[in-house]
Structure 1
Amino acid sequence: MPKDEDIKKVLIIGSGPIQIGQAAEFDYSGSQACKSLREENIETILVNSNPATIQTDIDSADKVYVEPLTAEVVAKIIEKEQVDAILPTMGGQTGLNIAIDLNKMGALDGIRVLGSPIKTINDVEDRDLFAEFMERLNEPIPKCHAVNSLEEAFEAVEDIGYPVIVRPAFTLGGTGGGIANNKKEFEEIVNHGLDMSFINQVLIDESVLGWAEFEYEVMRDKNDSCIIVCNMENIDPMGIHTGESIVVAPTQTLSDEDNQRLRNASIKIIRALGIRGGCNIQFAVHPETKEYKVIEVNPRVSRSSALASKATGYSIAKVSSKIALGMTLDEISNDITKETPASFEPAVDYVIAKIPRWPFDKFKGNTGELGVQMQSTGEVMAIGRTIEEALQKAIRSLDIDQEAFEYTDYTDYDLEHATDQRIFQVYSALKDGRSVEEISEITKINPFFLYKIKNIVELENKIQQQGSSVLYDVKLFKEIKQYGFSDKRIAQLLNLKEEDVFKAREELGLKPEYKMVDTCAAEFEAKTPYYYGTYDSLPDEISDNKKKIAVLGAGPIRIGQGIEFDYCCVHAALALKDEDVETILINNNPETVSTDYDISDRLYFEPLTKEDVLEVLKQENPDGVIVQFGGQTSINLAKDIRDAGIKILGTPFESIDMVEDREQFTEVLNELNIPQADYGITNSLEDARKAAHSIGFPVLVRPSYVLGGRAMEIVYDDDELEDYMKEAVKVSKEHPILVDKFL
C-alpha cells in the first residue's frame, strides 16, 4: 500500500500512569498504533512508564522503553534510536505536551511529527490562537480570554460577565477548572488554575451552561478525504465535563438539518487544521434557537474516540496510525467486513449508552458534585435496541450493587446541581409523579431523554400492578425484557426470587438474541463480528465445532481494579488462540484492549452480572470458563457459574471460596499452623459490637468479597462502629462483615 517511503522507524509516546482524566483509553490507542504500524513493516519504538498496561509488554513494539515520560528522556531515546518520526497523538495530553517541549528544545529537527503537526497542537491548545483560528474559519466559539495573571482575569470577566467557565490551558480532563458565579469563587478558581496549567495560563470562557452538548469523531487523510466515524450526544447539559456525562450514540435529538450543519463544521475544521488521522470536536447547541458554538477540538485520540471505536466497530486509533504514515482512507481495509474500505462511514442499527464510573465510594465526605473538572476513573458502555435497554444494561455494568434505576432521596437543589446520583434522582422525581417539563426546566436535560426514563417508570408500575401474571403474558414479558429489565429487577418488583422469574422466562422461550456490531448495519457480511444481547427475536445458533473457552473481563476502571486485569485477559485470549482454542470474551469497558474486535474469536459487550454472563455461556456452551483474570468482578461470579454446571478452569471455585470466606480460610491456616490476627464475622451491629469488645478496640472492619480495600476502616469505639455498619451493609449486601484486630 502506498505510504511515505521515508518513514521506516517511528517512536510512539505513551500516556504514563492511569490517572483521572487519562485512563485505559490511551493504552488501547497506543497498542492499536503499535499493531497498525507494524502491519506496514514500520519499526516501532515505544516509550511509556506504566507497568500495568499491555502496551509495555515486550511483544507490543520492536523496542519498549519503560522510562519517565519527560521531554529530556524522550529526546535521548530519539537520538539513540535515530527515529524518522514521532507519533504523540496516541498518548493523551502527556504525549502532546512532550511533543511541544521537544519542539522548543530543538529535539525535533529533521524528525517528522505524525498525526497532528506542532502548529496544529498549538492552534487548538492555546486559546488565543484557537480563537483567531476559528474567527478565520467563521466558526462561532464562546467569548473567551486567555490570561496569565489574576489582574488580567478580572479584566476578562468585566468584558464577559458572570457566570464564567475557568479552564487551565494545556491540562487534561478539565483539571483545575470550575464555574465561577461571583468574584470570590472566580479569584479562588483562577489562582488554582494558574498553578495547574502547563503554561501558567487560564481561559475565561463565556458560559453556555444548560446548552446541549454533541461530539463528532472525524477522520481525514492527506487527500483531504473526510468521514464522520460517529456522533454522540450528552444526556447531561453543558456545565458537566463530557467525561462526566452520560452519553448516547448516535445523536438522538438533532434534526437532520442541524446534524448536517455540525457535520459540515467538523469537516471544515479538521481540513483547516491539516490533521492526518482522527480528531474529536465538541459543540454546544442552544436547546431552543439551535445556535451552535465550537467548544473544543482534540487533535488526538481521546476517551470519546475509544467509545466511538467500540460503539461502531471502527478502530479510530488503528486507521489514524495508518493515515499518519501517508496512507489514504480508500487504501485501508475495514477489518470487520474485510470487504469495505475505511472510507465507508460506519452505520449503526442500535443505540449505545455510556455511563462514567466515579470513585466517590472511596472518599468519605465527598459530595459527588459534578462539573467541568473530570472526576470519573472509567466508564461502561452498553448496547441495546432502545435507549431504555442500553441505559438499564449500563447501570448493571457499573458494578455498584445496583440492578437498575433505584429510588434515591433528592431535593430540587440536587436535581439542579448534578452529582453522580443525578440520573437516579431524576428517575425518583418521575416516580414521584413530577412532570417531564418541570424536571427538564430544573435539570436542563432534554425532555426526550426524560420521557425514556419515564417509560421505564411506567413499565415498573405496570409490573407491580399486574403482579406475577406478567410472567405468563409472553407479549408483555418480552416488552419488559426489550426495555432492559433483568430477571433480578423483575423479581425485586414482584417480591419473588430471581430463579422464579428465570424459570418463567425459560418456559415462555424468551432468551436473548445476540446481534452483531458490524460497522455497516448488516449491509455486508461481518468477518470479525462482536455481539450484544437483546430481546428482539430468536437467536442464531453458534457452531460447536472447535474447543472453546470463555474469559470474563473486569468491567470499568476504578480505584483498586485498573488495567492490570485487562492485561491478564488479553494475554489469556492470545495464549488460548496460540493453542488453537476458540476464545469468547465478555466485558463492558470501551476503553480497554480486551474489548477490541480482534483479541478474541467472539466478543460479547455485556454487563458482568449473573444473568447476562450465564445467558452468553448458554448460547456459546464453552468447554470451560476462566474467571481468575477479571479481578473481583469475575471472581464474584464464580459460584453462579459453578452452580449452573459450567466448568471453571484454573483455580476452582472451592479454592476461591476458601480464600474469600474467612471461616474456611482460618481452617486452612490452622491446619498449616500459620497465625492470624483475632477476628469476628458478623452481619449485624449487635454481633459486630460483641466481636469488637471481645477483640478490643481499635478494630479493622471491612466487607468480604470486595475489592482493593473498598469500605475498609479502622474504628476506635462503639459510635464509629455503628456509623460504619450502616454504610458497610449497603456495600456488601450478600456477604458478611469482617472485624479484625488492628495490628
Structure 2
Amino acid sequence: MPKRQDLKSILIIGAGPIVIGQACEFDYSGAQACKALREEGYRVILVNSNPATIMTDPKMADATYIEPIEWRTVEKIIEVEKPDALLPTMGGQTALNCALDLERHGVLEKHGVEMIGAKKEAIDKAEDRDLFREAMLKIGLDMPEAAVAHNLEDAHKIQEKVGFPTVIRPSFTMGGSGGGIAYNKEEFIEICERGLDLSPTNELLVEESILGWKEFEMEVVRDTKDNCIIICSIENLDPMGIHTGDSITVAPAQTLTDKEYQVMRNASLAVLREIGVDTGGSNVQFAVNPEDGRLTIIEMNPRVSRSSALASKATGFPIARVAAKLAVGYTLDELDNDITGGKTPASFEPSIDYVVTKIPRFAFEKFPKADDRLTTQMKSVGEVMAIGSTFQESLQKALRGLETDKFGLDPIVDLSADDARNKIRSECISARGERIFYLADAFRFGMTLEEVFDLSKVDPWFLAQIQDIVSSEMQINGLNVADIDADEMFGLKRKGFSDVRLADLLCCSEQAVRERRKALNVKPVFKRVDSCAAEFDTQTAYLYSTYQQQCEANPTNKKKIMILGGGPNRIGQGIEFDYCCVHASLALREDGFETIMVNCNPETVSTDYDISDRLYFEPLTLEDVLAVIEVENPDGIIVHYGGQTPLKLADALERSGAKIIGTTPDAIDLAEDRERFSKMLQGLDLKQPLNGTARSLEQARDIADAIGFPLVVRPSYVLGGRAMEIVY
C-alpha cells in the first residue's frame, strides 16, 4: 500500500545523552528516520537533548527541540506543534518509555496523536517481563524458568525455586541496566534493590541461570501486510551470562545447522506476530543448550537497537530508514534497496559472502575500582566492527581496530610464571574484557581445546579458529622475515595477521614486514558490501579489505579527499568527533570533491554508506589506512576531525608519502608534545606553570623534587585526561 496521506507531521523522539547501553547508534537511526520521512514530504519534528548529534542539526528536521526527554516537556511541544503521529522506535529505551508515559497520561489521546511504528500494546507486551513470558508460552516457545517480582519478598520466594546462580532482569530498562547475575544472597539482594529502583514499573524477572548456553540474535523487519524478512543472524562468541553489548559477536551465525537456523527464523517471525510489531525492525534473542539443543527465547526489542545498527552496517541494509517508511504505510516490496541502486526491493532478504566481527571497547582503566566482571548489565562504552573473508581475518582486524595497543591475539600472560596456569584458568572462567587474549594464551600454554571449552563454554568451533591462529604464530615465531615466502605470507594475511603482529613474531620492524610483503606482491584487495553477495552489480562504494585475487574498488579519477574517522567510542572520544567527520564529508561534497571515509565504528552516522562517496570500513592503523591510500591516491587526507586516533597516525602517514591537509603533522606534534609546547610558550614569553618533561622514572623524580608537590602528571598525545594524575 502507498504511504499514508492522512499524516502530515510526525514527531520523532531521540535517545538523549550518551550512556552505557544507549550510545550513538540511536543518532544513526534517528538521522536516517528524519531523512526518510522528509523525503516522503512529511513535516518532521524532533525532540532530543543531545546537541552533539547529527540528528539535532537544524537541517535534519523541520523543527528541532533540544529539550529534556520527559513526558511533560514533550507534551508542551505537542501542544505547540500538533503532530499527527509519534514515532517512538528510533530513540532506544528513552524514547519508548517517554512514549508510554505520554500514552498513560492521556496526552496522545487528548491531542489526537497516533503512535506509529509500534503500538502501546506491542511495547508493553515486549518490555513487560510477565506479559512477554505469557505471550511466548502461548505460541509454544520455551523460556527459562522464571517469575516476576514487584518487591524483594517476592523475589526471594522465586529465587528459592530457581536456585543460584540467579539472573535478574528489570523491566523497561536499557542495556540490562539494574540487572545482573547473583551467586549468593548478598549479591541477590543488592541487584534486586538496584533493579527495582531503576525499573519504571518496579518489576523484576527472576530467572533460572542458563549460563554457558550459546546466544544468538535475529534482526527482523515486518510490514503491514505481514511480509517478514531476516536481515541477518548474529552469534555471540561469548556464552550466555554476558550482555550482548559486551560480547564479541559474529554475523552471520557460524555454528548453526541449516535446520537450526530455520527453526530460529520461524520462531523470530512468530514472536513479532504475537507481540504485534506491525511495522519496522525488531531484535529477537535466543539461547541454545549446546548439550541437547534446547532452544529458549530470552527477549526481544520492539524497536531499532544497537544490534540493528550492527546488522545495517554488516549487510548494507538500512534498517532504520526502511522501518521509518514502513511506519507510514509502505510495504517492503514497494521500497527499493538503495545499496543495489534499486535493482532489488527491500523485501529481498540480504545475503552476505563475508564474515563480520564486532568487539566491545571497555574503559575500566578510567575506573580502576569498578567491578570489571562481565554480566547481564552492559559495561562497554563503544565497539568496533571488522569485515573479512574468514572469521579469523575479521577477528584480528577487529582486535587491532580497538586501539588498545594490541594488533592481534597478543600474549598477555607470562607463561613462565609459577601462577600462569591458574591465572589463565581463572580468566577463562571469569569473563572480563580481555578474555579473548587469555583463550589464546591457554593454547600457548598447551591446554587442549576440550579443556579450554570446559573453562570458558565458548563454542569449540570458535576455539578451534583461535587455536589455529596460535599454531600459525608458533610455526613462524623466531624465523627471519626473509624466510617467509609468498604462499606463506598470503596465508598469514588471509588469517588476519597484521604487519605489526608479524613483526613481533619475526623480531623485525613493521616496515621490514611491509617491504617483504610488497616484494612478494602480497597486497590486500577491496570487496564491496552489497547486501546480495554479488548477485547484482552495485555502484555503492562500501568496501572492506581482504586477501583475495580480484579487487572491486574501481577508484575514480575525480579530485578526492580522504577523512579519517575516530574509531570506537570511548570516554573522551565519542560522538562529537563523528559529528565533525560527517560535516567535513558533506561540506567537501558540496565543493565538488569526492569524499572517502575510513572508519570502523558501526554505531556512527559517518559509517552510513550515503554520507561519503566511498566508505572503507577498516581499522584505523597505519597498515590499513596506507592500503586504502595506495588504491585511492587521494589529493589530501584530513586527520584532525576524528579525535586522537587519526592524529597519532599523521606523522607516519606523512613519512610514507601521504599528503596531510589542514593542520600539518608538525603543528599537531607542536600542540600534542608537551615538551615542544612548553618551549613554544617560552619563546612567546607567555606564562605557564613550572613543568618539565621526563622520559624515565629517575627524571620524573628529579623534576618533582625541583617543582614540589602537588603535581599534575600528563602524558603527551592523549585525550580526555587519559593516564593523567594529580600527585600529592
Q: Who is 2:334 aligned against? A: 331
* Partners of 1:247 and 1:353 within 8 A in 2: yes
3-state SS of paired residue (2:477): helix
**Offset of residue 274 of structure 1:** 2.5
1:285-364 correspondence to structure 2 within 5 Å: 285-338=288-341, 339-364=343-368
How many Å separate the matches in 2 of 1:150 and 1:364? 31
| AA at the equivalent of 1:605 | F
The structure 1 segments of at least 4 consecutive aligned residues displaced by more than 4 Å after TM superposition are: none
How many Å separate the matches in 1 of 2:105 and 2:456? 48
* Partners of 2:675 and 2:692 within 8 A in 1: no
Q: Point out the more displaced range, 501-510 or 220-229.
A: 501-510
1:162-311 correspondence to structure 2 within 5 Å: 162-275=164-277, 276-311=279-314
How many Å separate the matches in 2 of 1:216 and 1:539? 31
Unaligned runs of 5+ in 2: 414-422
Q: Point out the more displaced range, 542-551 or 494-503.
A: 542-551
- 1:568/1:120 CA distance change after superposition, 3 Å: same
How many Å separate the matches in 2 of 1:99 and 1:531? 38
2:114 equivalent to 1:112: yes
| AA at the equivalent of 1:242 | T
* Partners of 2:670 and 2:676 within 8 A in 1: yes
| AA at the equivalent of 1:658 | L
Q: Who is 1:124 aligned against? A: 126
Q: Who is 2:419 aligned against? A: none
Unaligned runs of 5+ in 1: 717-743
Q: Who is 1:74 aligned against? A: 74
3-state SS of paired residue (1:703): coil
3-state SS of paired residue (1:108): helix
- 1:229/1:541 CA distance change after superposition, 3 Å: closer
How many Å separate the matches in 2 of 1:543 and 1:380? 26
How many Å separate the matches in 2 of 1:632 and 1:299? 36
**Offset of residue 688 of structure 1:** 1.0
User: May I ask how many residue pairs the two structures share in their alignment?
Assistant: 715
- 1:470/1:74 CA distance change after superposition, 3 Å: farther
| AA at the equivalent of 1:423 | I
- 1:201/1:540 CA distance change after superposition, 3 Å: closer
2:377 equivalent to 1:373: yes
3-state SS of paired residue (1:439): helix
Q: Who is 1:728 aligned against? A: none
How many Å separate the matches in 2 of 1:703 and 1:658? 14
1:227-254 CA distances to partner (integer Å, 9 max, x unpaired)? 0001000000000000010000000001
Q: Point out the more displaced range, 308-317 or 635-644.
A: 635-644
Q: Who is 2:425 aligned against? A: 412
How many Å separate the matches in 1 of 2:210 and 2:372? 22
How many Å separate the matches in 2 of 1:30 and 1:675? 46
How many Å separate the matches in 2 of 1:187 and 1:486? 47
| AA at the equivalent of 1:434 | M
* Partners of 1:511 and 1:538 within 8 A in 2: no
* Partners of 2:166 and 2:208 within 8 A in 1: yes
How many Å separate the matches in 2 of 1:470 and 1:606? 29
| AA at the equivalent of 1:369 | R
1:277-307 CA distances to partner (integer Å, 9 max, x unpaired)? 1000000001121111110010011101100
* Partners of 1:241 and 1:372 within 8 A in 2: yes
Q: Alignment RMSD, CA only?
A: 1.2
1:404-443 correspondence to structure 2 within 5 Å: 404-409=408-413, 410-443=423-456
* Partners of 1:470 and 1:477 within 8 A in 2: no
3-state SS of paired residue (2:108): coil
1:595-634 correspondence to structure 2 within 5 Å: 595-634=607-646
How many Å separate the matches in 1 of 2:678 and 2:50? 36
Aligned with residue 678 of structure 1, among 690, 696, 710: 690
**Offset of residue 160 of structure 1:** 2.2
Q: Point out the more displaced range, 197-206 or 610-619.
A: 197-206
* Partners of 2:172 and 2:200 within 8 A in 1: yes
The percentage of aligned residue pairs carrying the same residue is: 55
How many Å separate the matches in 2 of 1:591 and 1:149? 36
* Partners of 2:482 and 2:516 within 8 A in 1: no
**Offset of residue 115 of structure 1:** 1.0
* Partners of 1:45 and 1:63 within 8 A in 2: yes
The TM-score, its normalising length taken from structure 1, stands at 0.95
Q: Point out the more displaced range, 230-239 or 693-702.
A: 693-702
2:569 equivalent to 1:557: yes
| AA at the equivalent of 2:660 | I
2:698 equivalent to 1:695: no
2:557 equivalent to 1:545: yes
| AA at the equivalent of 1:323 | L
Aligned with residue 490 of structure 1, among 502, 507, 523: 502
2:399 equivalent to 1:395: yes
How many Å separate the matches in 2 of 1:470 and 1:97? 62
3-state SS of paired residue (1:238): coil
* Partners of 2:166 and 2:183 within 8 A in 1: yes
Q: Who is 2:31 aligned against? A: 31
* Partners of 1:367 and 1:419 within 8 A in 2: no
2:467 equivalent to 1:451: no
How many Å separate the matches in 1 of 2:281 and 2:541? 23
**Offset of residue 540 of structure 1:** 4.8
